């Protein structure tokens, strides 16, 4: 066997019974899809919606190569109790999307299936696909370039546990860090659910389920997950550089697998983040959206997260001009202070370390009303 084949095999592993059991718990859980306005909440069992989407796609002429559970939920299945709660329920449908028609068909199929989950007594005749989209879809994304061809339909959940259905023809980068690089192929367990009568699972009798790490070696990535280690490759390829996710891992007590290597990688992360989001308004919207989607029910962690993000930006940003860097640091400080205010958790003034930025004119030696010390003045000075 050549090296390429060995590398391919090492990225795949069979799940243990304990992991299959956790996967079964995830797929059989009833997840609410919350409607806007007066629209009723849909009670969705994940295995049902995934199976229906596959069935309807294939009836419409789109072959589904396989279905995969992705991201933090896949990580939860593989290793329980690692200090983070899995949020979005990410499913990948591997399909061919050669033309615009296939993109439209995928969207129509998913919206049509939502009708099946409406409660009894609801008059479905006058409900259009556009109405369903406005009522239940949190996010609708289509990417159609030479290297990336995929679409995403995210179904709303007020607790941040959105059901995310991603339809992928091709995608350059499928992970940010090794700990979120896992994909679990669901076809065998979905076939198990189709059996009538449905036999109960046990350690002696359960479907063989395969997992894959798109980071590379499966066992290496699993070791990183179990030991809460952060590792990645080429962060400059990730939109946003992986900076926000990296700080999210740090606030959850994950640590770089190599401290020395990550000092250099942090600079790549910051550079890519500011390339993708150069405007201060864009930066604010991106960070606020990340907080909103990843810290629901974890309000106390938001302040720590913003402090860590500010520290990384302060220490590792080399691509910004001085005033741009100060502007971003000031934004993160204000956001952190606002989080404390929202929690009514601002401590007594005696315990606060505040910072001020010297006015630009104190550097002007012709400005005689101020005494300028004969020393370098740091950008931020503690007032205590």
In this structure, what token pair is assigned to residue 300? Answer: 């106390």
Strand partners, 14: 210
What is the DSSP secondary structure assignment for residue 46, as one 8-state letter?
Answer: H
Q: Residues with Cβ < 8 Å from 216, sequence gap 6 or more?
A: 7, 10, 11, 178, 181, 233
Let me know: does 73 contact 196? Beta carbons within 8 Å: no
Which one, of 64, 16, 69, lies nearest residue 208 by Cα? 16
Angle at 332 between CA 329 and CA 333, to 5 degrees: 85
Q: Give the whole-angstrom CA distance, residue 361 versus residue 247.
A: 35
Per-residue model confidence (pLDDT) at position 6:
39
Q: Give the whole-angstrom CA distance, residue 360 versus residue 54.
A: 62
Looking up tokens 């969207």 gives 107
Q: Give the whole-angstrom CA distance, residue 294 versus residue 310.
A: 18
Q: Give the whole-angstrom CA distance, residue 98 versus residue 106.
A: 12
Q: Residues with Cβ < 8 Å from 68, sequence gap 6 or more?
A: 74, 91, 92, 94, 183, 184, 185, 186, 212
Task: Report, as ranges of residue numbers, the positions in the chain whose pLDDT lies below 70.
Answer: 1-9, 82-85, 344-384
How many whole angstroms from its chain centre is CA 220? 21
pTM: 0.83
Per-residue model confidence (pLDDT) at position 368:
43
Let me know: does 218 contact 12? Beta carbons within 8 Å: yes
| 145 C-beta neighbours (distance < 10 Å), count | 9
Let me know: does 272 contact 236? Beta carbons within 8 Å: yes
Which one, of 332, 171, 168, 186, lies nearest residue 247 by Cα? 332
Per-residue model confidence (pLDDT) at position 355:
53
Per-residue model confidence (pLDDT) at position 358:
53
Per-residue model confidence (pLDDT) at position 285:
96
Looking up tokens 């770089």 gives 256
Q: Give the whole-angstrom CA distance, residue 279 versus residue 76.
A: 35
Per-residue model confidence (pLDDT) at position 84:
63
Helix/strand/coil for 84: coil
Q: In the sheet that 182-185 helps form, which strands lie side by side, from edge to edge?
A: 12-14, 210-213, 182-185, 66-70, 89-94, 163-170, 149-155, 137-144
| 82 C-beta neighbours (distance < 10 Å), count | 19
Let me know: does 71 contact 90? Beta carbons within 8 Å: yes
Phi, psi of 139 (to 5 degrees): -150, 140
Q: Residues with Cβ < 8 Å from 167, sequence gap 6 or more?
A: 92, 93, 95, 97, 106, 150, 151, 152, 153
Let me know: does 118 contact 135? Beta carbons within 8 Å: no
């Amino acid at each position: 066997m050549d090296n390429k084949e060995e590398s391919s095999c090492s990225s795949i592993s069979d799940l243990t019974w304990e992991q299959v059991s956790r996967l079964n718990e995830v797929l059989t859980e009833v997840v609410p899809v919350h409607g806007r306005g007066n629209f009723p909440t849909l009670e969705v069992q994940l295995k049902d919606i995934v199976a229906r989407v596959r069935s309807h796609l294939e009836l419409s002429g789109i072959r589904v190569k396989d279905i995969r559970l992705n991201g933090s939920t896949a990580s939860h299945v593989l290793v329980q109790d690692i200090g983070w709660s899995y949020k979005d329920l990410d499913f990948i449908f591997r399909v061919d999307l050669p033309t615009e028609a296939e993109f439209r068909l995928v969207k129509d199929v998913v919206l049509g299936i939502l009708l099946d989950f409406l409660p009894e007594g609801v008059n479905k005749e006058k409900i259009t696909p556009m109405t369903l989209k406005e009522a239940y879809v949190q996010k609708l994304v289509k990417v159609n370039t030479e290297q990336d061809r995929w679409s995403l339909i995210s179904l709303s959940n007020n607790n941040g546990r959105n059901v995310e259905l991603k339809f992928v023809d091709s995608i350059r980068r499928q992970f940010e860090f090794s700990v979120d690089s896992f994909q679990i192929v669901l076809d065998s367990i979905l076939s198990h659910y189709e059996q009538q009568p449905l036999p109960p699972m046990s350690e002696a009798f359960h479907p063989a389920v395969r997992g894959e790490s798109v980071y590379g070696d499966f066992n290496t990535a699993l070791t990183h997950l179990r030991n809460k280690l952060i590792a990645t490759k080429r962060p400059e390829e990730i939109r946003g550089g992986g900076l926000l996710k990296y700080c999210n891992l740090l606030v959850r007590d994950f640590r770089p697998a190599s401290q020395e290597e990550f000092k250099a990688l942090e600079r790549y992360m910051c550079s890519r983040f500011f390339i993708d989001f150069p405007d201060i308004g864009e930066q604010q919207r991106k960070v606020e959206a990340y907080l909103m989607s990843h810290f629901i029910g974890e309000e106390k962690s938001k302040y720590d997260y913003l402090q860590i993000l500010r520290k990384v930006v302060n220490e590792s940003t080399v691509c910004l001009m001085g005033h741009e860097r100060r502007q971003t640091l000031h934004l993160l400080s204000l956001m952190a202070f606002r989080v404390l205010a929202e929690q009514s958790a601002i401590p007594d003034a005696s315990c606060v370390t505040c910072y001020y930025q010297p006015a630009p004119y104190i550097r002007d030696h012709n400005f005689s009303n101020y005494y300028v010390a004969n020393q370098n003045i740091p950008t931020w000075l503690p007032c205590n």
